[in-house]
Amino acid sequence: MADKKPVNHIRLTSHPDGDAVSIRWGDPDPTRRGPVVATLTEPAHRNVIGTHAGSYAVYRALAVAAGMLPQDHRADLKDTSPAARIGPHPSWSNPDRIVSLDPWGAVAPQAFSAQSEQGIDFRPTIAVTRAHINLPELRDAVVAGRLKPDGDLLTANGDIKVVKAAVDPVWHLPGIAKRFGMTENALRRGLFEQTGGMFPELITRPDLHVFLPPIGGLTLYAFGDINSVSNKDIPLAVRVHDECNGSDVFGSDICTCRPYLAHGIEECVRTAQAGGAGVIVYLRKEGRALGEVTKFLVYNARKRQEGGDSAATYFQRTECVAGVQDMRFQELMPDVLHWLGITRIHRFVSMSDMKHDAIVRSGIEILERVPIPEELVPADAKVEMEAKKAAGYFTKGPVADAAALTQVKGRGLDV
């Protein structure tokens, strides 16, 4: 491969160009399942639509166009294998259970060594490593006595040991279509047309069933023994969190995202210290997957409307701008839990009915739901919180009626 010359003519991928290994999605035997091959170095080997790294594929393209990166660069994967073993779990061999990530993605070089020896260029779509994390809220929990350092999982200065994994999206189109009750043709057509025709193969290559969409992926953080998350008799705390850059990173007080995330981590640590385990899933679905520009437009609309920001019109303002209230498609979210082999969640740290219902419908039991503690809700986020509870989010407390919702007000833009 080292002496391979870059091709100068444009290679269209619209028609089959060789005999690529086929992917038998859901086959329990990796030698039959076959690797996801999205290489651009040898187009004849490709067996998917799209390319690696989700939305970052566009930066890679830019790097090649700018002459910074040779187009035939192959990843040197020495010493990159997972730092913790995950699976295989029975869910990996159910083609309908996991449709939006490649369960073999972390161990691709090992699982598909035969194809590797044949010189086929494929790469992991999941990376698993270990880390220490430290958050001010968790240090506060130690000071307040809610968490007790154990010198191992949680140290006196608040360092917490985790296993973390980054997961790129890999969509099995027949399974995605089935999950949403549509035909594969309708799904392919929608994806083709609504991306401005970005991937012609969605239409021209019905022989390719796997699509690597140019979207954000997810990161998961596991607390305690990663192997016990699949044991339904060992207590497990889980929070599934959708990205909110304003709150998660910058502490914006218009919503409850960071406080609830920190509370979820606290629950995970406590459960792990008591002999169980915890999992935080962080999905790149900013602004309910509508994007941050939309979200900030909504914030302005909420705060400028007559009478000011109000719980009574909270969801309507998003719908006015985006046409819908939410595009997160929680139906795909449980895939990562199935990848970990989870079959029962003892403490589910979320008030979302959509997340809860999607998880339970996918066959995972939820024993207890943990709402955000009242004292963690910032004053300006009361609008969101009351609107969500009135819309069916889980709560152990009272739910405001229509009249009471109009009385829940947020700050104006100029205050």
Q: Please tell me which residue in 123, 239, 258, 328 is annotated as part of the active site.
A: 328
* Cβ(95)–Cβ(12) below 8 Å: no
* Contact residue for ligand GTP among 115, 125, 343, 352 (CB under 6 A): 352
Question: Residue 331: helix, strand or coil by DSSP?
Answer: helix
Instruction: Name beta bridge partners: 163.
Output: 130, 222
Known catalytic membership, residue 326: yes
Distance from C-alpha of 187 to C-alpha of 126, rounded to nearest angstrom: 25
Partner in contact with 298, chosen from Zn ion, ligand GTP, none, beta carbon below 5 to 8 Å by kind: ligand GTP
Distance from C-alpha of 275 to C-alpha of 236, rounded to nearest angstrom: 10
263 binds ligand GTP (CB under 6 A): no
* Cβ(27)–Cβ(93) below 8 Å: yes
Q: b/e map of 197-235 (b: 16 or more CB within 10 Å)?
A: eebebbebbeebbbbbbbebbbbbbbbbbbebbbbbebb
Q: Dihedral angle at the C-alpha atoms of 330, 55, 127, 343, nearest 10 degrees?
A: 10
* Contact residue for ligand GTP among 101, 106, 229, 290 (CB under 6 A): 290
Q: Write down how long the chain is.
A: 415
13 binds ligand GTP (CB under 6 A): no
229 binds ligand GTP (CB under 6 A): no
- Nearer Cβ to Zn ion (248/266): 248
Taking the alpha carbons at both ends of the chain, their separation in whole angstroms is 62
Chain centroid, CA 87 distance in Å = 19
Q: Which residue has the tokens 């339904």?
A: 232
- Nearer Cβ to ligand GTP (214/291): 291
* Contact residue for Zn ion among 23, 257, 277, 280 (CB under 5 A): 257
CB of 139 to Zn ion, least distance (A): 22
Known catalytic membership, residue 328: yes
* Contact residue for ligand GTP among 188, 258, 263, 295 (CB under 6 A): 295
x/- site string to ligand GTP, residues 366 to 385, per CB under 6 A?
------------------x-
CA angle 395, 397, 398 (to 5 degrees): 110
Partner in contact with 35, chosen from ligand GTP, Zn ion, none, beta carbon below 5 to 8 Å by kind: none
Stretch that binds ligand GTP, among 54-62, 134-142, 165-173, 348-356 (CB under 6 A): 348-356
# residues near ligand GTP by CB under 6 A? 22
Q: Please tell me which residue in 326, 335, 347, 369 is annotated as part of the active site.
A: 326
CB of 322 to ligand GTP, least distance (A): 6
244 binds Zn ion (CB under 5 A): yes
* 26 torsion bin: left (phi>0), alpha (psi -120 to 50), beta (else): left
Which residues in this chain contact ligand GTP in the complex, by CB under 6 A? 242-244, 255, 257, 260, 285-288, 290, 294-295, 298, 318, 350-352, 355, 384, 388, 393
- Which are the catalytic amino acids? 326, 328
